[in-house]
Amino acid sequence: MGSIAANLQAVRDRIANAARSAGRAPDAVTLLAVSKTFPLAAIDEAWHAGQRAFGENYVQEALAKMDAFAAAWPERAVQWHFIGPLQSNKTRPVAERFDWMHSVGSLRVARRLSEQRPEGRAPLAVCLQVNVSGEASKSGVAEDELADLAREVATLPRLALRGLMCIPAPCADPARQREPFARLRGLLEALRAGGLDLDTLSMGMSDDLEAAVAEGATCVRAGSAVFGRRAHAPAVPGFAREIPA
């Protein structure tokens, strides 16, 4: 692994090449740098390399980092995206502190996020996480329940429903990598045909971002390709109490 700046450039090049191969504009795809388990210094390095959107999975780790970031650099504007699993009793800090929430999988969580989103902030941008076939985790709404959930979430006043997200099971075959992403794109198109104003497909990670971009990803979430291999232990003591083994 090179420096974070070099890694970021390599990921941007991969996204741009995949977009051009698909006849898409490279700037139609946003790179979300997934900084979970990595220390503030890594985020600082990415920031100096022009990165402004960061993704975090664990509430406590994220809050500690966001506080430290704001204290160190109050003048820096960055976007924080929550992308991890979220229990419905832990929604408040996400509603209060984040700009985006990619992993809404139930109406219960969505309602709480809407109720808890502070009036002084823009509505929380959300994606519904869909359990497409081959989903690695069990979280996310089932495909046959997606349309009802999307219609309900779209009515919540303090949320802005933007699109869909998925985490397919890892797959080494580039041809087969595209299948779940194509499914998610089809689901988004169906919701749009039904009248919902959606513009976001949050899909693709370090190992499959080309396939995701080929199928229309508008937000790619890359962690290890940007920051390096994740350790299981907290990168900074106290930051990551919720890291799974």
Ligand X SMILES: *Cc1c(COP(=O)(O)O)cnc(C)c1O
Of 118 and 170, the one with the shorter C-beta distance to ligand X is 170
CB 129 within 8 A of CB 166: yes
Which DSSP string do the residues of 108-153 spell out, in sequence order? HHHHHHHHHS-TTSPPEEEEEEEE-TTBSSS-SEEHHHHHHHHHHH
Adjacent-strand bridge partners of 222: 33
Write each residue from 64 to 93 as x if it is in contact with ligand X (CB under 6 A), else as -, in one continuous string.
Answer: -------------------xx---------
Smallest gap from residue 182 Cβ to ligand X (A): 19
Of 36 and 162, the one with the shorter C-beta distance to ligand X is 36
Q: What count of Cα atoms within 13 Å lies in the side-chain half-sphere of residue 168?
A: 27
Residue 108 in tokens:
């219960």
| Of the candidates 189, 193, 123, 190, the residue with the CA atom closest to the CA atom of residue 153 | 123
| Of the candidates 221, 230, 34, the residue with the CA atom closest to the CA atom of residue 127 | 221
Query: What is the number of the residue whose Cβ is closest to ligand X?
Result: 223
Among 205, 213, 217, 240, binds ligand X (CB under 6 A): 205
For 195: left if phi > 0, alpha if psi spans -120 to 50, otherwise beta; the answer is left
Of 74 and 138, the one with the shorter C-beta distance to ligand X is 138
For 187: left if phi > 0, alpha if psi spans -120 to 50, otherwise beta; the answer is alpha
Smallest gap from residue 102 Cβ to ligand X (A): 7
Residue 34 lies near ligand X (rule: CB under 6 A): yes
Write each residue from 3 to 32 as x if it is in contact with ligand X (CB under 6 A), else as -, in one continuous string.
Answer: ------------------------------
Residue 57 lies near ligand X (rule: CB under 6 A): yes
Number of residues that bind ligand X (CB under 6 A): 14
Of 137 and 158, the one with the shorter C-beta distance to ligand X is 137
Among 9, 79, 139, 224, binds ligand X (CB under 6 A): 224
Residue 206 lies near ligand X (rule: CB under 6 A): yes
Residues 103-132 that bind ligand X (CB under 6 A): none
Residues 138-197 that bind ligand X (CB under 6 A): 167
CB 221 within 8 A of CB 205: yes
Residue 214 in tokens:
């080929």
Residue 221 lies near ligand X (rule: CB under 6 A): yes
- Site residues (vs ligand X, CB under 6 A): 34, 36, 57, 83-84, 167, 205-207, 221-225
